[in-house]
Structure 1
């Protein structure tokens, strides 16, 4: 009998049969540990970040709209907000403008947090796991855009021209506000990776800030020079009736363009920089405690 016909040749390969794809089963389990507390941590992180950035953004947005409507100059409105926040903080913190800004950014942050928690739960990953990619971008962008449109409509009613308070917000104003926000979101998420390799940072500067970090602040701030005129035109369409010609409206936009652009640049840093860092950091610490 040949070696191929020996006892070893007729024995079935048990190891191969056991490892066959047909006999394997998935062992991935959902990570539902402390899921209620984890959702609470998502909300607490978002609320902390939202409360931190809301005072500055409220004062700036209020000043831009009051300046556009002619109620107050931009500088005077900022000084009034600072005085109210310093001397009567409860009046500032319980005002409608503050509540609208808090809801806008708190809602944006909590959308991102809950998406991270859902992803880590389904994939069986640690609670501290965060995600990135199209799903998170679409979710946070949709939340931010819808909440921002609502905020803009309420701000225009509260702080716009007194003669326009009875009029509804015109459709073109909503369209202009939406394009403005799309430009900011695009500049915040899509442009930085493209311009980071092109930034001429010296080695000394790179020791303190990376090109990616610099681009993350530069891109959304720079786009305000383009998006602010859209914002001002949308406000003017509401503040002044539709009988005005394009020339008169463009004159008003040009008059307020530069100072309003720099004001909107100032709000980008807390909105898309500080707030995001605080939200992520607080959430990570809370999730680490829950994992212990």
Structure 2
């Protein structure tokens, strides 16, 4: 008897396939948890190291700007005094309250940005080199930077502002101006560079020495100081010169110190956020 299968013959392999349960395809994202604890430790260590490296320069410049705005010392004289202290008595400079305030400010901001990048790369399953530049990063870094910077500014204004026997409280408008200033700086430092880097007209020869991303990371934070420095100076003036001074008088003082203070703040922002 022939065993050839005809059109109506039973086909066991088809029955087996029909009896198999249907499978559904689901897309799952694998979290990039490889060495996560070490990566988080590296985030903290690199942030603390960066904060310690930039803190001496920023401490001296912030002190100089505030003393110059208060009329206590010129910008150059204050910077020379800080340099002399750092050179001749480094322990006195590095263990001072102003240095601790600046180290806490930038170390805290860097830690926030680093950990956010690591968490984003972990959840999205992307390489650790992936960085974020969206609203989440702006909100997180702004919150950390703003809260720490407002505290630092209030302490610096009382330490180096207008000389009085009993420093008064920082007025609310000064805090508001400082807050807007910091939001501008954080936005220009963390969010703007990835957006403007493709637009920079760098020639192939220039890109051999510096990438568009690196150039944008230096240019954006520095350029925004031309806009944010007047806010900083006006906030200091509201603290230093209390009373019923007119807007014209205050704006005259701000305009007088605007350019040199802007360049000084560029010098502190480039190492801090560049």
Q: TM tier, shorter chain?
A: 0.7 to 0.9
Instruction: Specify whether residues 106 and 58 from structure 1 end up closer, same or farther in structure 2 by C-alpha distance, changes over 3 A only.
Output: same
**Which residue does the alignment assign to 1:11?**
15
Instruction: Specify whether residues 228 and 170 from structure 1 end up closer, same or farther in structure 2 by C-alpha distance, changes over 3 A only.
Output: same
Kept after mapping to 2: 8 A contact 1:31/1:120? no
Larger Rg: 2
**Which residue does the alignment assign to 2:180?**
179
Give the Cα separation in 2 of the matches to 1:90 and 1:222.
Answer: 34
- For structure 2, which runs of at least 5 residues remain unmatched after alignment? none
Q: Secondary structure at the match of 1:13?
A: helix
Kept after mapping to 1: 8 A contact 2:193/2:213? yes
Instruction: Specify whether residues 16 and 50 from structure 1 end up closer, same or farther in structure 2 by C-alpha distance, changes over 3 A only.
Output: farther
**Which residue does the alignment assign to 2:24?**
21
Per-residue CA deviation, residues 196-249 of structure 1 (Å, 9 max, x unaligned), is: 444333332222122332222112211111111110000000001131111111
**Which residue does the alignment assign to 1:31?**
33
RMSD, matched Cα: 2.9
Give the Cα separation in 2 of the matches to 1:229 and 1:91.
Answer: 32
Per-residue CA deviation, residues 8-36 of structure 1 (Å, 9 max, x unaligned), is: 47413279637x128x796957838673x
Q: Secondary structure at the match of 1:79?
A: helix
**Which residue does the alignment assign to 1:248?**
249
Give the Cα separation in 1 of the matches to 2:14 and 2:220.
Answer: 70
1:72 aligns with 2:73: yes
**Which residue does the alignment assign to 1:132?**
132
Q: How many pairs were matched up?
A: 269
Give the Cα separation in 1 of the matches to 2:71 and 2:117.
Answer: 43
Instruction: Specify whether residues 25 and 176 from structure 1 end up closer, same or farther in structure 2 by C-alpha distance, changes over 3 A only.
Output: closer
Per-residue CA deviation, residues 264-288 of structure 1 (Å, 9 max, x unaligned), is: 0111111012xxxxxxxxxxxxxxx
Per-residue CA deviation, residues 45-83 of structure 1 (Å, 9 max, x unaligned), is: 221111011111111111101100111100001111111
**Which residue does the alignment assign to 2:108?**
107
**Which residue does the alignment assign to 2:83?**
82
TM-score by length of 1: 0.81
| Matches for 1:53-72 after TM superposition, within 5 Å | 53-72=54-73
- For structure 1, which runs of at least 5 residues remain unmatched after alignment? 274-292
Instruction: Specify whether residues 16 and 153 from structure 1 end up closer, same or farther in structure 2 by C-alpha distance, changes over 3 A only.
Output: farther
